[in-house]
Amino acid sequence: MENIDGLTVEERLSLTLSALYESYGFLRYKTTKFEKYSLYTENENFLGTDRVITFTTDGGKLLALRPDVTLSIVKNSGFSNGGCEKLFYTEKVYRYDKESKSFKEISQVGVETLGDVDTTSMAEVVELALESLKKLSSDFVLDLSSLEFVTQMYDAYEIYDAELKKELSDCLEKKNNDAVEKLLVGGKISKDFADAFKAMLSISDAPEIALEKIKPLIKSQSMQRAYDELKALTDALAESDCYGGLRIDFSVVSDCQYYNGIMFNGYVLGMPKAVLKGGRYDGLAKKMDKEIGALGFAVYVGDLANAHHTKQKPMTLVLCGDGEDSDILREANKLREKGLIVRVTKTVPDDINADKIFKFENGELKEIK
Amino acid sequence: MINIALPKGRLGEKVYEKLAKAGYGYVDDAVDSRKLIFQSADGSVSYFWVKPSDVAIYVEKGAADIGVVGKDILLEYSPDVYEIMDLNIGKCKMAVAAKNGYKDDSLVTLKVATKFPNIAKEYYEKQNRDIELIKLNGSIELAPILKMSDVIVDIVETGTTLKENDLSVIADVCPISTRLIANKASYKFKKEEIDTVKEKLK
């Protein structure tokens, strides 16, 4: 992490990541904090909740405090054919937190690619995700999954029941082998499928190893296509500096019907949950009548910043004592010129880590600590 | 070093015993002392004794890499963790019980007393049944006896408590057993160590 004086950890992280995205030619996307409430009611499935902070304007319009940036970017994208729109943002969003049963302000820095999202664009976004993690910690892992491969596996084994798919998705997300076994014992799935599914569920490996494990699971042309896409993507990244942090792991799933293709979660050592989440969501663009590919991710910089306790820099105090105002200001500035952080105060504050204390006594500045 | 959250009580002790026997070694007074944290003899494992219902929280928040917890807690709180193994101990079931002779009237809202509101809510939602939830923290069996609720949704092990209070099971909700769970991020960075513990518990 770059050390930039005077900024909070969150601001530093945002700046570092923004500089990274700018270096890839991504343009900053800036938006207001408010959005029409209807955007969120129409896309509740994508958002995963119907709880947003709303308010009514003087004109009677119902607005919401933005719970998500991606929806606004897709809605406002004028992109149609050829090439890609590449954007990044640094925004705060407001979401309902089930744990605390209240709304939380969440700081995100994110990337979105809209348009003709081919293997090159996908590889670039995944590389950016890997590079982002590297900026946060030297120990990182990016779990990459293919929803398409999972979906095609269901089709190949003729699993169409939505309730059963939900149960299987839950097994995948929790790496719950025993629950798959119970579905087999309960006669809900076949032995062949259970074996293949458990093999997929246990994968959490570097791409070369994982792809070897996936190969024998391919049962249809559609599964082969999904495998080829995953292989082409990881092959494209093989020479990247951050490739060592990439794993294939199918526990990255989503029940949201708008996600398709690849999904990924990023972890850094010392943080208990994913600090980066992303994936392909062509379905959302299609719902908004846009026949374009869409891929992006968000880094939860607020969570990362909260894990770092800011250490207060040592400060020099100048106690006013009986000093004249002009003398106090002049002497304080003299100390600042020496490179010290100087606070003028009447008494010693409890919350300040003072390494030196000066005081005006009989009109003269004396060092008392 | 791997951090393991164990539930205070019989089940936690059983798992500790199994791990100690499997090679992590015994620690003096591990079970009897009031110490909350202790390390295995070889220093490779650190155990915490925590309230059974808190194990999932310790693991989800990353204070513990893995933990031992009942399926009831996982169903009730849905923590974002990997559920890596059914330890096949602490087997019991989540069930609906009522006073002996109770007849359900589907035309009225069912009053359900429980320690597990989310499990009860999901169970009745699947049946499209309108219910009034009464969240209690203990002595659930008292609720139907005092006519505060029509039924209870609770863990049933032997059924003795129900029998002694003139209650009986009228429907099974789901089987329950003890699970080994892992923090998702820990699994990325300590997979080998976690898999070793898993193997030792098989």
Would you state the pLDDT for residue A335?
A: 93
B38 and chain A: CB distance < 8 Å anywhere?
Answer: no
The answer to whether residues A205 and A327 belong to one domain is no
Is A227 part of any domain?
Answer: yes
Least CB–CB distance from A273: residue in B80, B85, B191: B80
CB B40 within 8 A of CB B160: no
**A253 contact B CB<8A:** no
CA distance B181 to chain A (A): 9
Give the DSSP per-residue string, A288-336.
Answer: TT---EEEEEEE-HHHHHHTSPPPPPPEEEEE-TT--HHHHHHHHHHHH
Residues A217 and A328 in one domain: no
Is A208 found in the same domain as A356? no
Question: Does B184 sit within 8 Å of A267, measured CB to CB?
Answer: yes
- As a whole number of Å, the end-to-end CA separation of chain A is 34
Give chain A positions within 8 Å (CB) of B86. Answer: 178
| Cα torsion A115, A120, A123, A129: sign | negative
In this complex, the residue of B60, B84, B185 whose CB is nearest that of residue A271 is B185
Shared domain for A66 and A107, answered yes or no, is: yes
A324 shares a domain with A276: no
Whether residues A37 and A170 fall in one domain: yes
User: Quick one: A241 and A332 in the same domain?
Assistant: no
- Cβ(B18)–Cβ(B196) under 8 Å? no
In a 13 Å sphere around the CA of A176, the CA atoms on its Cβ side amount to 20
Please report whether residue A2 resides in a domain.
Answer: no
pLDDT of residue A309: 66
- Domain for residue A275, yes or no? yes
Please give the Cα distance from A80 to A282 (Å, whole number). Answer: 13
Rounded to the nearest angstrom, the minimum Cα separation between B136 and chain A is 19
pLDDT at B32 over 90: no
> Are residue A73 and residue A193 in the same domain, yes or no?
yes
B185 touches chain A (CB under 8 A): yes
Tell whether A149 and A42 lie within a shared domain: yes
- pLDDT tens-place string over residues A90-101: 999 998 888 788
Q: H helices within chain A, ranges in order?
A: 9-23, 37-42, 44-47, 70-76, 119-136, 147-156, 162-174, 177-185, 191-201, 207-214, 221-237, 282-287, 301-306, 325-337
ipTM: 0.85
Domain boundary at A294, A309, A324, which? A309
Residue A4 lies in a domain: no
pLDDT digits (tens, 9 = 90+) for A52-103: 888 898 888 898 888 888 888 888 877 666 678 999 999 999 988 887 888 9
What DSSP string runs through A65-87?
Answer: E-S-SHHHHHHH----SSSEEEE
Q: Could you tell me if residue A3 is inside a domain?
A: no
Same-domain check for residues A183 and A324: no
A143: containing domain: 9-309
How many other CB atoms sit within 10 Å of the CB of residue A73?
A: 19
CATH of the domain at A107: 3.30.930.10
Q: Specify whether A329 is located in the same domain as A255.
A: no
pLDDT of residue A2: 45
Average pLDDT, chain B: 92
Q: Which residues of B touch A175 (CB under 8 A)?
A: 82-84, 187
Q: Find, in chain A, the residue whose alpha carbon is nearest to that of B66.
A: A272
Look at residue A61 and tell me if it is in a domain.
yes
pTM: 0.86
A177 close contact with B: CB closer than 8 A:
yes
Task: Choose the final residue of a domain: A309, A330, A352.
Answer: A309
The answer to whether the CB atoms of B82 and A177 lie below 8 A apart is no
Residues A348 and A292 in one domain: no
Residue A47 lies in a domain: yes
If one counts the domains in chain A, the total is 2
Residue B114, SS3 per DSSP = strand
Residue A1 lies in a domain: no
* Domain end among A309, A328, A358: A309
